[in-house]
Amino acid sequence: MHLEFLASDELGGRYTLSPNFPIAARYLAAHLEAYGFRGVGDNGSFLQSFDVLSMRPDGKSTLDLTRGDKTTSYGLGDFLSRGEASGTAEGQIVFVGSGISSVAQNHDDYVGQDVKGKIVLVAGGIPAGIDSSRLADKEQGEGAARAHGAVAVLQIAPERFAELMKDKSFQERAGLRETVRLAKEGEGALPTLTLGPALADKILTSGGMKLKAVYEAINQKDSLKPKVLNASARLTVSFQQTRVTTQNVAGVLEGTDPRLKNEYVVFSAHYDHLKTGARGEIYHGADDDGSGTSALLAIAHAMSLNRPKRSVLVMFHAGEELGLLGSQYNTDFAPVVPLDKLVVDLNMDMIGRSKPAGDQLKEDEHLSDANTVYLVGSNRISQELHQLSEETNSQFQKLKLDYYYNDANNPERIYYRSDHWNYAKHGVPIIFYFDGVHVDYHRPSDTVDKIDFTKMTQITRLVFETGWRIANLDHRLKTQ
């Protein structure tokens, strides 16, 4: 059984940068080839290789803050170095609120402020009236700061992390934690530090502001006014950096219609999970996302037995757990097929768990039951897709389709947290299938014995049936 192999001890958790990970890639590629798919990766193979940079803070990052004639030095614990670039910068600090600069959405936190050669302080948050799904990288955060000529970024930690950042053990763990990014992505990035609450409050007082009030404004979706602060800083951000090559697995099954075969229905899942722990504990990832990966193999096999009119693109993404890296590479940098030929992406991530009867665990509060699956994004880009999805389920599987996580105000922001997002941001209609967060999420206890295979089979069939209908439509899905 696919899932037993993928979640086995021998694969060690399928961490993207581990030596075991290519074994999983070859396993997936071999099955696609056996099903009659054609490789669309490197040189016609099934592997789409890409480079990532592993960056680990080396403890040498510093921040010297000057207010008036007094300079105070700060180190690890007062801040975390979680950016994408090493470097040194100095300059006056300018507060830029949420740090969003979008002409299309008529919102510019940089208006009236010249930040060239200066350090920007970004509070984050999304003010009312801003559709975050339409924000490009250059319109927010470090991207917007760079576009306006800033030399460095200070980020205020989200409120949910503020208390954690006061904890010494958390500071030590987070302060030395590895981050991984696409090698192409960080070129020209600015040195960036994330501030702990005490340091953030101290800098804000230089402009007559308080951190508590800033958090309140973010929670209420109010716009924060930009302001030049009576403070300057010199900062150094330092990482140890390692370049590693990894791979997506990608295959195409050609459609039967001479015209429609030039369009593609995408089925996707991420096949990576987490690194083996310091004491040898294996994060098996049976549900996350061994379930979606196994389902995708089953769908690929079923499609090969009776090919539809449109072509089918199967994408097993790497690096999802590291920040949606594999799907980002395939959409932003080197698509295996042209993005304008993609009709839909049906993405599965955690579809194998059910809430047991009588389960009162807080961690399982939003775990779906045996007859329910969460759908996210079905109506965001194409209302026709949403209606087709509902009709298909009513006709066949008759599951309860729950849209709790599809609420734009849901704090989990699931729409942006799995690989479908990188397709959606390019205008490709998507549906994300999800069973909900549970007590074993990102723990070694996410094992095969806890999978509800009956439910997983039903969801797999629903995804297949929905994709099959789309692949045989006489028209392309209408978008709104």
pLDDT at position 170, please? 61
Q: Mind listing the pLDDT tens digit for each residue in 394-431?
A: 999 999 999 999 998 888 889 999 999 999 999 999 99
- What is the per-residue pLDDT for 445? 97
**87-95 and 227-237 beta bridge pairing:** antiparallel
Say which residue, 223 or 316, is predicted with more confidence: 316
Beta bridge partners of 401: 373
Angle between the N-to-C axes of helices 21-34 and 292-305, in degrees from 0 to 180, rounded to the nearest 10: 20
Q: What is the rounded CA–CA span in Å between residue 301 and residue 170?
A: 45
- Name the burial class of residue 205, with classes exposed (0-12), middle (13-18) and buried (19+) by CB atoms within 10 angstroms of its CB: middle
Predicted pLDDT at 169: 62
Distance CA(3)–CA(114), nearest Å, equals 55
**What is 285-323 written as a DSSP string?**
-IIIIIIHHHHHHHHHHHHHHS--SSEEEEEEES-STTT
Across the range 114-136, mean pLDDT stands at: 91
Rounded to an integer, what distance in angstroms lies between the CA atom of residue 35 and that of residue 305?
8
**Structural fold of domain 2-54+242-471:** Aminopeptidase (3.40.630)
The average pLDDT across 452-463 equals: 98
Chain length of the chain: 480
Q: Give the pTM.
A: 0.88
The pLDDT score that the predictor gives to residue 186 is: 62
Q: How far apart are CA 87 and CA 382, in angstroms?
A: 43
Per-residue pLDDT tens digits for 9-23? 999 999 999 999 999
Q: Is the pLDDT of residue 83 over 90?
A: no
The residue behind tokens 């997936």 is: 28
pLDDT value of position 173: 59
Closest CA to 186 of 58, 87, 63, 316: 87
**Type of residue numbered 459:** I
E strands, 113-263, in order: 119-122, 152-156, 179-182, 192-195, 227-237, 239-253
Look at residue 409 in the predicted model and tell me its pLDDT.
81
Q: What average pLDDT does the structure give for the chain?
A: 94
Tokens 């504990």: give the residue: 281
pLDDT of residue 30: 98
- Would you give the distance in Å from CA 426 to the centre of its chain? 15
Query: What would the pLDDT profile of 344-378 be if each residue is shown by its tens digit?
Result: 999 999 999 999 989 999 999 999 999 999 999 99
Which position has the higher pLDDT, 359 or 1? 359
Fold classified for 59-237 = Glucose Oxidase; domain 1 (3.50.30)
Q: Are 325 and 319 in contact (CB under 8 A)?
A: yes
Average pLDDT over residues 178-198: 85
Tell me the per-residue pLDDT of 163-175, one tens digit each, with 9 for 90 and over: 767 666 665 555 6
Determine if the peptide bond prior to 474 is cis (ω within 30°): no
Contacts of 2 (CB under 8 A, 6+ apart): 31, 293, 294, 297, 298
Domain extent listing, the chain: 2-54+242-471, 59-237
